[in-house]
Structure 1
């Protein structure tokens, strides 16, 4: 009797298992449908990362700079006590440009609202391609964020699209593009008054993920109300932000901005940029601004301002000053995602021939984001410089696989006799 009753129970278990298997196969098949995949992919990926981080939490404190032999870093940065949050002087190496005499501009309208922009809600992890698509659509381009993403980040897990990558894409389809640091409120108002929407890079506090980078499109301002209007692919259409809020969220990214315009209006745009049409003057001014703001900030804000200073000094050729600025930013404590968004730090330590620092930072970045092609590439360069050719080839291959449009690692593989 026990044996007879066990058989139906066994059959029920087998049938239940078969139904479960069929259900899973149907779900898997449905997940391959593009529309379903587009709407569920980010949830699956977010869940995967959370499970992975639960069992193996990534290090989220950017490594401190290694100690250097006495005399290898210029005073007074070496003698300071950065852990207290005190301001450390980082003396530029004499490469900063003097400020040109400002041009007296015509009075700006008290308020401007550019009509004709169409808001786009971004796909998951797609603010750069979506914001660029909004700007290009305004000028008559008929593509979508899927088109921009295919060129800018063929790997959906890529967490960073740089301003320079967006500018290069716009130029590749016939537009003119100008990217600059050191954006100002009046400078943006002048551009908006001329009818040019402005892409800017900003920070954003996400409920689940914390601090992150983001892009938005400025389309209007009201001077009396002290506010700007943005088309934000994550937060919504025509989002108002105050002047103070704009400066606060813009500072972590060096007040970087990008304009894409029809080629026929390129000369007009350069005239509006004034002296900062010369990009070295723009970076020189940005460095001077960062030096000033270091004294006005503390904590993470000051660390990010030192990071800005490092980017700006590198751009004007002051590698030693840039390295010391990045040292200080790391000592004060920068958000770990900064290494995803602003890879100039690798280039500076590489130029300073501190190859182990490059490897240490890249190892850390890849521990938090295995899809950072820039971290793989710069670790490859450091390994190549240290004669670790096998490791270099592996890193270059990983970078090239993550982004088929990233030419630098492919060129490196060709140079080393490995097939890209």
Structure 2
């Protein structure tokens, strides 16, 4: 009798153990990422739902091939009137820029989990005498701690709310970064971060100096520490994934000095046209080798995506959709739409609602808290007559980002139309 009782107890314990093992993956997946981050790697693997490494290819391709027609109207250049010869003034010598330069007076800060945007911005603000840390910037920039993205434009708006100036530009280059640093403007760049072929994600870096002899930039990196160096070629390859976007914080009285460095890129249309031409040229002439990518073939994929980003910003949505199609056909990393949303906007604008929904579904299958994906899927669903699905998506976007104006406006428009 006693033996039977022990057997029953053992069976009960084994059943409980089995239930616990079955429940373990469910409980681990339910943990917020900021807590699961501290679990051992084998347990973290239980959180990952299987999904493709690339976003889905286009459902239908009915947009024209991108031709990148320049939209600027040429102006007539008058024939100069002959003038009598005059004495030629001696040219003023241009000072040779220093081969090495590093800004000082910044405060480095190591980021918390998934917090590189707020932390990098706080480091940039420290140069201008501000005391904000990531614990001040993050609640304003990403009310949901699990949010995977803070855009440069959200950071720009936050800085302006502090009474400082800020401007986001695209199509930068290495000489522009060096000129900004020499002029006293530490610069935030949005870059790719490649751990391996599958594990790639966005990462902000703060450029504070350069060394032409070593061909390296000096950065404040929220992940790796202060005075972290990165080679010119590596930084440029990682930066171009985001159309070489950069954010400059400045004191309002220094706008004229900054505008001189930015030159014609102060004008949005001029800037995006030039960035578009760069992306087109890079798509057509990829390098023989790369230093930053898991596969150098990604160079062309990212070129087409950046071309699409510039075309979206120029309002040329049919051409943008064609450029994004090319990138998707080549294999676009599944995390691209965690950070960049041009494909949603352009596909929606040309009526390709199925593509918007397919991309949002695939992106949200990799992580749930991306308000932008819910928003654009909601707009596409509404255009297809699915008002209930649209409302649910807008509500979910607001659950992850309270009072987020695009979703608030979308719901208000639905209410007014009822």
- How many residue pairs match? The answer is 373
Give me the whole-angstrom Cα distance separating, in 1, the residues matched to 2:41 and 2:377: 27
Secondary structure of the corresponding residue to residue 254 of structure 2: helix
Residue among 111, 134, 138 paired with 2:100: 111
Is this contact kept in 1: 2:36–2:44, CA < 8 A? Answer: no
Secondary structure of the corresponding residue to residue 368 of structure 1: coil
**Post-superposition shift, 1:153?**
1.0
Secondary structure of the corresponding residue to residue 105 of structure 2: coil
**Post-superposition shift, 1:110?**
2.1
In structure 2, the partner of 1:314 is 312
Is this contact kept in 2: 1:95–1:318, CA < 8 A? Answer: no
Give me the whole-angstrom Cα distance separating, in 2, the residues matched to 1:294 and 1:94: 17
In structure 1, the partner of 2:90 is none
Residue among 185, 188, 195 paired with 1:199: 188
Is this contact kept in 1: 2:124–2:186, CA < 8 A? Answer: yes
Is this contact kept in 1: 2:53–2:198, CA < 8 A? Answer: no
**Post-superposition shift, 1:335?**
0.8
In structure 1, the partner of 2:67 is 91
Residue among 47, 55, 69 paired with 1:52: 47
**Post-superposition shift, 1:261?**
1.4
Deviations 1:196-228 (A, max 9, x none): 101001111236961111000000012232221
Change (3 A) 1:107 1:285: farther
- 5+ long unaligned stretches in structure 1: 18-36, 78-89
Indicate the larger mover: 188-197 or 398-407: 398-407
In structure 2, the partner of 1:296 is 285
Give me the whole-angstrom Cα distance separating, in 2, the residues matched to 1:207 and 1:243: 20
Deviations 1:253-309 (A, max 9, x none): 111110111222223212221111112211111000001100222622211110000
Q: How does 1:254-273 map to 2 (within 5 A)?
A: 254-273=243-262
Is this contact kept in 2: 1:95–1:317, CA < 8 A? Answer: no
In structure 2, the partner of 1:27 is none
Q: How does 1:222-241 map to 2 (within 5 A)?
A: 222-241=211-230
Secondary structure of the corresponding residue to residue 67 of structure 2: coil
Change (3 A) 1:268 1:353: same
Residue among 211, 221, 235 paired with 1:246: 235
Is this contact kept in 2: 1:280–1:316, CA < 8 A? Answer: yes
**Post-superposition shift, 1:384?**
1.3
Deviations 1:89-139 (A, max 9, x none): x2024426889xxxx976422221100112111100110110001001111
In structure 2, the partner of 1:376 is 374
Is this contact kept in 2: 1:93–1:318, CA < 8 A? Answer: no
Give me the whole-angstrom Cα distance separating, in 1, the residues matched to 2:214 and 2:179: 17
Change (3 A) 1:155 1:225: same
> Normalising by structure 1, what TM-score?
0.82
Q: Does 1:144 align with 2:133?
A: yes
In structure 2, the partner of 1:85 is none
> Normalising by structure 2, what TM-score?
0.82
In structure 1, the partner of 2:333 is 335
In structure 2, the partner of 1:353 is 351
Give me the whole-angstrom Cα distance separating, in 2, the residues matched to 1:46 and 1:169: 36
Give me the whole-angstrom Cα distance separating, in 1, the residues matched to 2:318 and 2:45: 39
Change (3 A) 1:110 1:391: same
Give me the whole-angstrom Cα distance separating, in 2, the residues matched to 1:96 and 1:149: 40
Secondary structure of the corresponding residue to residue 350 of structure 1: helix
**Post-superposition shift, 1:160?**
1.0
In structure 1, the partner of 2:37 is 42
Is this contact kept in 2: 1:200–1:215, CA < 8 A? Answer: yes
Give me the whole-angstrom Cα distance separating, in 1, the residues matched to 2:142 and 2:246: 20
Residue among 361, 364, 367 paired with 1:363: 361
**Post-superposition shift, 1:46?**
7.8
Give me the whole-angstrom Cα distance separating, in 2, the residues matched to 1:109 and 1:338: 37
- 5+ long unaligned stretches in structure 2: 17-31, 76-92, 287-295
Give me the whole-angstrom Cα distance separating, in 1, the residues matched to 2:365 and 2:44: 12
Deviations 1:389-408 (A, max 9, x none): 11110000000110115211
What's the Cα RMSD here? 2.9
